[in-house]
Structure 1
Amino acid sequence: MLALTNATIYTSKDVFDDRALLIDRDRIVDLVPADALPEVDAVIDLHGQIVAPGFIDLQLNGCGGVMFNDAITVETLDIMHQTNLKSGTTSFLPTLITTSDEEIKAAIDLIKIYRKTHSASVLGLHLEGPFLNPKRKGIHNGNYIRAADRIMLDIIAVAGKEVVRLVTLAPELAAVEEIKLLTDRGIVVSAGHTDATYEEAIDRFEAGVNMTTHLFNAMSPWQGRKPGMVGAVFDHPEVYAGIIADGHHVHFASIALAHRLKQNKLILVTDATPPVGTDMTSFIIGGNEVFYRDGKCVSADGTLGGSALTMIEAIANCVQHVRIPLAEALRMASTYPAQLLGLHHKLGDIAPGYVANLAIFDREFQMGGVVDRGWFYGLR
């Protein structure tokens, strides 16, 4: 039994300054009055730091010098997880961007095995492509982009939500029955790299698409006579939206507008790439060399290629630049993604019975520690 004391604790609903957090093995036991602490095996004084539910990143291409597309291996997933912990992300979806069918199958097989022992860290696979609209491909490799086909969709559906949690596709290029093939198995289908009209987007939302990937980026924009995908997202209250809050992908004013309209359906994602946690200055993505300069990742022609954002930085940006309250920014990084994935009964909150995944940081958003499945790691 472990007790964390002298901290400000943010649950999904409340903020406590006078409680101790009890952990037994990999589970949260209770929040108890600090002056009524029971006998425990160890007490860790957090010296006034903030404790929040561990962050959940639904879009993570790579970090720590590795890219999931480049090496679909256990070692890559281990490096990504250990790098994530340094910025408070305890659970994530390794994201495989547009590639060959053979690589997609290899990723599915790997995640199926890896999750047998790492189910609280790797929550499943995010397939971002290859069923995208080439008009909005961004940095993705156009040689592999194609319309959805039943053979691969069947493979994904059979793997199920415990292996493939999320599929990003261009909904205007997928039939309703193809979308339902995935959603009927509990897989989240997200609209991304799409040139859908407003009408096409609303139709596919009604068919089961319930998320958009990196809102504003690589999708038909909101215009007066053509509301596009962005307008449809704002007009459909039940659809979630991931957003990259690095100040490069989306203007902070646009994030503020999106939050006012989407509220508890707006989710922070990083879209991170290998430079995170390293001193790398370039890497390969989608067959293109991408350079990390001035805080952003761009190809030679200026196309954004992922980010070098961490989740704690995304939260800090939301608080400091968008003026979103800290409690809400934390929910955007933990509670809301857990709800989207149907995992809100065990992740995304601090409550009895929940997995003991916690982020610990100070008022300047500097990480002080992390708890990963009940194990405490100091980061200072």
Structure 2
Amino acid sequence: MSATLAVTGGRIFDGSTFVEDRALILEDGRIVAIAPAHQLPAGIAEIDATNRIVSPGFIDLQVNGGGGVLFNNDPTVAGIRTICSAHARFGTTALMATLITDTPEVGAAAISAGIEAHRLRVPGFLGLHLEGPHLSVARKGTHDPSLIRPMTDTDLARMVDAAGRFGKAITTIAPESVSPEQAARLVEAGYVVSLGHTDTKASTVAAYVAAGASMATHLFNAMSQMANREAGLVGAALASGRLSCGMIADGFHIDPTVMQVALRAKQGPGRIFLVTDAMSTIGTDQTSFELTGRQIYRKGGRLTLTDGTLAGADIDMLSCVLFVHKRLGLPLGEAINMASLYAAQAIGCASKGQLAAGMDADFLLLESDLSLAATYIGGTCVYRQSGQGQVAS
């Protein structure tokens, strides 16, 4: 998009406050300003947002699949494109394609696909989240234990070599399989190191935070819990202002009361942000799929292995926002920030998560009932809800 546009008539949430009688002015895929509507240049093209909320686009740092595609099963640019397109239908304008523990060959293919997707600027692709294989078997979750292994010098060299070539980079590791020195090298190379799938003690967590780890993967799930004489990763993550925490708000992965307690307890500046941990089912009527040779079943909003182990989530980001807003009672602006600003801050992405001058023009048009009317990435409409009429002039 090169022409100047103005989003008019809507109630704009800029990441801090809701403002009215203002226009969001866009040019070359970026936000130029939020200006009084009466000051718009004559003849400027307009996107009519009357009676709608203009919100920052959602950012999802843990997306395993969507649109019928699981990244592990299709680690290609086409697979990434399908996943990004599927999640745009639910308000996600930037996502980290997430590879679950797999073989070295699948890992190499995923990195190659990420490099090419970044080069091609696939709409919605933010980078890669490598979730494993350097985890703890004791807290494997749905990860195949036969594929979990310690990090070798070769693994580290491969990851360092790929750093910076596929956009933003997150890797989930467990102290049981990765040394503090290796973690520090990953951080130095540009990875956001996230602790997860681990049975580690809080004292060990402190050593990895000192090495540069700055995130905890899907808080409460597949990690050591907080107890009366041992804080575990849960307690350490909540108590440390240097750790940001992903949270799956589907009502299955964490009890709603526990979510409320965690939100009140979390020490800043690190925040709790929303992730979907979504699988291939999003945007489809799939009832099952395969992951590393095992069947995953979809029923009642849950995805499970045959033994009932949760296997990712069957939820989109807009539904997560609605859950924390309506079920937990968070103000709408805070719920939106958990799906946008806080995730951007967690990975140091300064161009996304808010609507302000100089930011990427990634935004949503939401109806008064908070259903999605349209999704814009870089100022271009990539999804429009059918039956909503024209949202752009």
TM-score relative to the length of structure 1: 0.96
Q: Matched residues in 2 for 1:14 and 1:67: separation?
A: 37
The CA distance in 1 between the partners of 2:42 and 2:303, in whole Å, is: 50
Q: What one-letter code is carried by the residue in structure 1 that aligns with 2:248?
A: I
Q: Deviation of residue 41 (structure 1)?
A: 4.3
Mapping 1:1-380, distance limit 5 Å: 1-118=4-121, 121-163=124-166, 165-262=169-266, 265-344=271-350, 346-376=351-381, 377-380=383-386
Q: Name whichever of 30-39 and 323-332 sits farther off.
A: 30-39
**Offset of residue 46 of structure 1:** 1.6
Change beyond 3 A, Cα 1:359–1:207: same
User: Higher mean Cα deviation, 32-41 or 46-55?
Assistant: 32-41
CA distance in 1, matches of 2:219, 2:135: 15
Please name the residue that 2:390 is paired with: none
Does the CA-based 8 Å contact 1:124-1:162 persist in structure 2? Answer: no
Distance in 1 between residues matched to 2:297 and 2:306, nearest whole Å: 8
Deviation at 1:120, TM superposition (A): 6.2
Q: CA deviation at 1:119?
A: 6.5
Q: Deviations for 1:58-116, whole angstroms, at most 9, x for unmatched residues?
A: 00000111100001111111111111111110111100000111111111111112101
Unaligned runs of 5+ in 1: none
Moved over 4 A (4+): none
Between stretches 224-233 and 308-317, larger displacement belongs to 224-233
Residues 127-136 or 10-19, more deviating: 10-19
Deviation at 1:277, TM superposition (A): 0.3
Deviation for aligned residue 1:362: 1.9
Query: Would you say the 8 A contact 2:160–2:186 is kept in 1?
Result: yes
Q: Tell me, in whole angstroms, the C-alpha distance in 2 between the residues paired with 1:378 and 1:120.
A: 15
Q: Aligned Cα RMSD in Å?
A: 1.4
CA distance in 1, matches of 2:223, 2:251: 18
Asked if 1 retains the 8 angstrom alpha-carbon contact of 2:5 and 2:46, the reply is yes
Residue 365 of structure 1, CA deviation: 2.2
Distance 1:185 1:120, change over 3 A: farther
The share of aligned pairs that are identical, in percent, is: 37
1:280-302 deviation per Cα after TM superposition (whole angstroms, max 9, x unaligned):
11111243211111111112211
SS in 2 for 1:106: helix
Extract unaligned runs of 5+ from structure 2: 387-393
* Separation (CA, whole Å) in 2 of partners of 1:170 and 1:287: 23
Which secondary structure state, in structure 1, belongs to the residue aligned with residue 297 of structure 2? strand
What amino acid is aligned across from residue 334 of structure 2 in structure 1?
A: E
Q: 1:67 and 1:301 mapped to 2: Cα distance?
A: 21
Residue 201 (structure 1) shift: 1.4
Deviations 1:231-289 (A, max 9, x none): 11122112000000000111111111221122651110000011110111111124321
One-letter amino acid of the counterpart of residue 179, structure 2: A
Checking the alignment, whether the CA contact within 8 Å between 1:139 and 1:285 is kept in structure 2 is: no
Does the 8 Å contact 2:219/2:246 carry over to 1?
A: yes
1:13 is displaced (CA, Å) by 1.7
